Structure 1
Amino acid sequence: MIQNILVSIDQYKLHSPFVTAVRRVEAIETITVHIETESGLKGVGAASPTWQITGDSIASIKEAILQPIKSELLGQPLSSLEALLTKVKTACKGNYSAKAAVDIALYDLFSKRRNLPLYEMLGGYRNCISTDMTLSIDQEEKMTMKAMELIKDGYDALKIKIGGKFEEDLSRIRSLRQAVGSEITLRIDANQHWEPKEAVRFIQKLEEENLKIEFIEQPVAADDFEGLAYVTQHVTTPIMADESLFSAKDALKLVNMQACDLFNIKLMKTGGIREAIVIADIAEAAGISCMIGSMMESPISVAAAIHLACGHRNITKADMDAPLWLENKEAIKGVSYNKSLINCLNSPGIGIEASMLK
């Protein structure tokens, strides 16, 4: 039986600012949630707000967990994970990050009860996955120097954040491709930066110059599904939906409109692992591959997302470098990083105990 739900507010400093088209981050604020049971077993989860995307804040996440969600779960038996997850989903409207934190804690709890690593409980398709490394927006020369450092360190896939003027962004990408050579994978994340026609013009320019971009992520505004479809239909470079994809309903709409070629699944958008699995299944049925991604988040929620990716065969790519931006790398828990390769630990759950967080 669920006996108590506790939360704490934590902060992780970054080693350098993370800059995108929509925000600048110097430290990660997070809510950590602990679900305590009558038997003494505990589940841990976490959520980090990205109000520009999800609309959540530390205050709203905390309130949603300690009020409607907690009241739905206290005293409930541990007989059905599905029943508990349904209570979390229907406890309140919105509040996806708060729901994700509790969803993660429940999955952690139930996989610990089975004495299995979470990725095995979710299917165990693999136990490791490779991540790209993100280049946040900066001066062209600095971005190129950083790219060369990352390649020297053994990374072979880079995600480029853009969000400036047309020619400046294009020049950055040209310089990066010239510096890193043709064998390094380059991905571009526009974070909703363009209008549809401008996106097409920019991407077609990349194609004309043969800059070999693996995919373009979220070129237009999140709610502009028609614009996203327009871009997808007018370029040959694969287009990935990110901010347009929160729910299974969104996934179906994107599929039916043929609005994108790839999905980026993030637990803070989906409200947790359960909805993420449904999205990945819809994508697989439609022939769409998925990438697991994250905001700038706690190592706890990142670990949960990596376990999900390793458990599901249709999550084939990863953008899970957030922990590598932390000033204190000892804060990384639940998974291990060996350059771009991320391994799930074989400990029960997501591999994180409450005692490890003190």
Structure 2
Amino acid sequence: MEIRRIDTVRQSVPLIKPFKTALRTVYHAESVLVRITSKDGKVGWGEAPPTVVITGDSLESIEAAIANTLTPLLIGKNVLAYEQLMQSIHHSMVGCSSAKAAVDMAIYDLVSQFSGLPLYKFLGGYRDRLETDFTVSVNSPHEMGEDAVRYVQSGFSVLKIKVGKDSIDEDIERIREVRLRVGNEIKIRVDANQGWQAKEAIRSIRRMEDMGLNIELVEQPVKAHDIDGLKSITDAVETPIMADESVFSPLQAFEIIRRRAADMLNIKLMKSGGIYKAQLINQMAEEFGIECMVGSMIESRVAVTAAAHFAASKKNITRVDLDAPLMLVHDTVTGGVKYDGPFMVLPQEAGLGIREVKPFQMEVAQ
């Protein structure tokens, strides 16, 4: 099953509502779609969004990495020797994790197609259904409360509340408003996106605990490099702390686990460089009794389908944050994972189960 060609194409899909975090505001879901065609005509799909403030990857750098480094490396190679291919991909260049992820998921799509299995079954097959949270962008407390009520009325029972953009007192008011509006039965996850300092995070999380806001977890309260600060928070509060931007590679995950700097890990394919390394992170965490969540950037159903297959395949992945396609005005994918309210149903076709992708505002990569 030789790789015959690798093509890339850009897409840009408007969001229903701007996505706001402590790090950025997004109005369009931009990405580079990757199509790998085998000699026998099978097609594997992948996707990489530019997330400069997190991964350092832009549209241009993703396209260049795929065209100039990964394509020459892979053309003519047998995808069934995917262990060799993954080793070559991850040793081919430093960084460029999003480009690696897009190619990685397309290769796994082809390999699992050859096996005749949906990718989640090929990877382990633990479950065929997931429940995602829905993200409430950081805005005024009133607007966030209104958004939260709307998402709950749509069937979501888990909300991720974005904070960290202004003062921490304003963040507590945002969380309090959401809790008042949705009641106590809805799970609330808080994501500061590196927006707090360690000492203020400790003080404020304790305050939220005393207020009875019943926060399920707090994600990445401090800067990605501040592992000491992350550990100090984890040690000082009862609320579970999740590491996100602090964990790209298995080596970084090992450091978090070794130091017990967080209670949980958020694995994203765009950070790990794809499914191959994501599996290593999850397996390592599982051995130490640390649960993982699978999240995404602002991606279409191409990359989110790959992430969902990975998440569904593993027992230790107990939470998913894969709501990005629900934020888009247009769905460009035929096949792939399907949404039933907050529930994600994995396709039973071989591979990713993606039959066709029609990029919106298509622009062919040079």
Structure 2 length as normaliser, TM-score? 0.95
TM-superposition CA deviations, 1:161-189 (whole Å, max 9, x none) = 00221221111111111111111100100
**CA RMSD, Structure 1 to Structure 2 (Å):** 1.3
TM-superposition CA deviations, 1:89-129 (whole Å, max 9, x none) = 11111100000000000000101111211001011100011
> In the alignment, which residue of structure 2 is the partner of 1:196?
198
> In the alignment, which residue of structure 1 is the partner of 2:132?
131
Distance 2:131 2:80 in 1: 35
> In the alignment, which residue of structure 1 is the partner of 2:351?
349
Task: Establish whether residue 68 from structure 1 lines up as the match of residue 69 from structure 2.
Answer: yes
Change (3 A) 1:217 1:287: same
1:298 Cα offset (Å): 2.5
8 Å contact from structure 1 (residues 144, 176) kept in 2: yes
The farther-off stretch of 163-172 and 126-135 is: 163-172
- Return structure 1 stretches of 4+ with deviation > 6 angstroms: none
Which one-letter code corresponds to 1:98 in the other structure? A
Change (3 A) 1:142 1:355: closer
Which of 189, 204, 210 in structure 2 is aligned with 1:208?
210
TM-superposition CA deviations, 1:193-248 (whole Å, max 9, x none) = 01111111110110111110000000000011111001100111000000000011
Change (3 A) 1:202 1:149: same
- Number of positions where the alignment pairs a residue of Structure 1 with one of Structure 2: 358
Indicate the SS of the match to 1:353: strand
1:77 Cα offset (Å): 2.2
> In the alignment, which residue of structure 1 is the partner of 2:227?
225
Change (3 A) 1:329 1:3: closer
Distance 2:79 2:103 in 1: 14
Distance 2:209 2:18 in 1: 31
1:249-268 matched pairs, under 5 angstroms: 249-268=251-270
1:332 Cα offset (Å): 7.0
8 Å contact from structure 2 (residues 79, 110) kept in 1: no
The farther-off stretch of 143-152 and 93-102 is: 143-152
1:330 Cα offset (Å): 5.8
1:49 Cα offset (Å): 1.1
Change (3 A) 1:332 1:206: farther
8 Å contact from structure 2 (residues 301, 333) kept in 1: yes
1:80-95 matched pairs, under 5 angstroms: 80-95=81-96
Indicate the SS of the match to 1:80: helix
Gaps of 5+ in 1: none
Indicate the SS of the match to 2:79: coil
Distance 1:175 1:40 in 2: 54
Gaps of 5+ in 2: 361-366
1:6 Cα offset (Å): 0.8
